[in-house]
Structure 1
Amino acid sequence: MSRKAEIPLTVDLGRYLGVGAIHGRVTRDRYKDLILRIQKKLAPWKAKQLSMAARITVVKSVSSSIPIYPMHIELVPVNVCRSLDKINRDFIWGESDEKKRMHLVAWPKLTQPRLSGGLGIRPARPVNLSMLAKGGWRIINDRDSLWCQVMRDKYDKNKEHLEILQR
């Protein structure tokens, strides 16, 4: 006699470290919450009342902490990275929906390291790519780590890809 478990089917798998668990394709819609969280974090700070140095510090702290986990685990869509950079740019220049302001320095100049004359603000896309590369490097080179063993066993069933990269 067989019995069904009668467990309801769900589309929402919940959240882990502020990111919704997915079982499908990664889209821009999946990151709406992330973008809103960053906007909410920046909203209480009155950009008009802060000095330029204070706005840069706020942007660095917010943009370097909130999107870190999603950027470590998956390739964030380009449009989402552009949105994150736009939020940062607008906050730095004190721009709002009501009042547009001219950006006095180009974004590529602001994202250069301080030693090169920039402000050291990290653009979202290169940060995402470097974090993914760091994870890949760790999987290849850190043979004793439990995390790496699990990842190798789970995602590289034939062991061919990693053997090619290790040569």
Structure 2
Amino acid sequence: MYLDSILQQMDFGGKLWNWIKWCLSSNRVSILVNEPPTNEFPIKRGVRQRDPLSPFLFIIAIEGHSVSLKEACNCHIFQGISLPHDGPYLSHLMYVDDVTFVGECLRINLLKSKVFGIRVDSLDISRLASILHCERVEFPLTYLGLRIGENMKLAKHWKSIVDKFNSKLSMWKAPKKIIEILEGIRRKFLWGGVDNKRKIHWVSWDLVTKPKHKGCLGVGSLSSLNIALLAKWWWHLKVESSSL
């Protein structure tokens, strides 16, 4: 099995893989036929739609693909591109569930392509879009749910993210003011508050976010998470000079 092979090559323990196999093999689903559902039956492979395990399995699967593509470049089977000024060598880019191949002699799907420019005259962008027969896009734009081309230091440009967080209780990194808003949503959620109605907070939020080994709930602080992510990026930039 592909996932089994990848996990073994990445030196994951057998206990973890047994857990994953159990999750994959124990799923049961039913199908709606003219409204009433059929009897449940096992699907034996894959996960249900929106299963929280799905993105982790995707990362594991795509890691094998990434290693294979790098090996193909080393064997000159696939030719990527080298960025100028001692930039990194690119063969592919991955973000969330998007995979972009970067290389020579690749055919571009213009129906899925869009043209936008940075410090380029709008007439030049329109002319190029007309030549390529693809859509012209202007900043700011939304890519995979994130706004690009806006000043994200301004709180008003984070409204859509705050709204998503409020509805799904997701985690995002953000400026201090935004983090305070998101932490407020988490506190209200924990103590059962609804809309503008507040309920009593029986425990200090500092105790809620502290680790379990200190006798607390270990929910974690968004501010600490934000600092940790920034530190991780800084470390990659420091020790991996060829990294994007």
Q: Which structure 2 residues correspond to residues 5-154 of structure 1 after superposition, within 5 A?
A: 5=124, 7=126, 10-12=138-140, 14-24=141-151, 26-42=153-169, 62-63=170-171, 67=172, 71=173, 76-97=174-195, 99-143=197-241, 146=242, 148=243, 150=244
Structure 1: which amino acid aligns with 2:148? A
The structure that is helix-richer by fraction is 1
- Distance (whole Å) between structure 2 residues aligned to residue 118 and residue 22 of structure 1: 40
Shift of 1:10: 3.6
CA-to-partner distance for each residue in 1:80-103, whole Å, 9 max, x for gaps?
000110000000000123532110
Q: Is the 8 A contact 2:209 2:221 kept in 1?
A: yes
RMSD: 2.2
TM-score by length of 1: 0.60
CA-to-partner distance for each residue in 1:2-29, whole Å, 9 max, x for gaps?
xx536389442x2223210025452111
- Distance (whole Å) between structure 2 residues aligned to residue 40 and residue 127 of structure 1: 20
Alpha-carbon spacing, 1:25–1:137, altered in 2? closer, same or farther (3 Å): same
Matched residue count:
113
- Distance (whole Å) between structure 2 residues aligned to residue 111 and residue 9 of structure 1: 42
Give identity over the alignment, percent: 25
Alpha-carbon spacing, 1:127–1:98, altered in 2? closer, same or farther (3 Å): closer
Alpha-carbon spacing, 1:40–1:23, altered in 2? closer, same or farther (3 Å): closer
CA-to-partner distance for each residue in 1:124-146, whole Å, 9 max, x for gaps?
11111110110000111124xx4
Alpha-carbon spacing, 1:91–1:117, altered in 2? closer, same or farther (3 Å): same
Q: Which one has more relative contact order, counting CA pairs under 8 Å at least 6 apart?
A: 1
Alpha-carbon spacing, 1:30–1:92, altered in 2? closer, same or farther (3 Å): same
Q: SS of the residue aligned with 1:15?
A: strand
TM-score by length of 2: 0.42
Shift of 1:40: 1.7
- Distance (whole Å) between structure 2 residues aligned to residue 119 and residue 37 of structure 1: 24
The structure that is strand-richer by fraction is 2
CA-to-partner distance for each residue in 1:29-70, whole Å, 9 max, x for gaps?
12111110111225xxxxxxxxxxxxxxxxxxx33xxx2xxx
Alpha-carbon spacing, 1:5–1:98, altered in 2? closer, same or farther (3 Å): closer
Instruction: Name which one, 1 or 2, has greater alpha-carbon Rg.
Output: 2
Gap regions ≥5 residues in structure 2: 1-122, 127-135
Gap regions ≥5 residues in structure 1: 43-61, 151-167
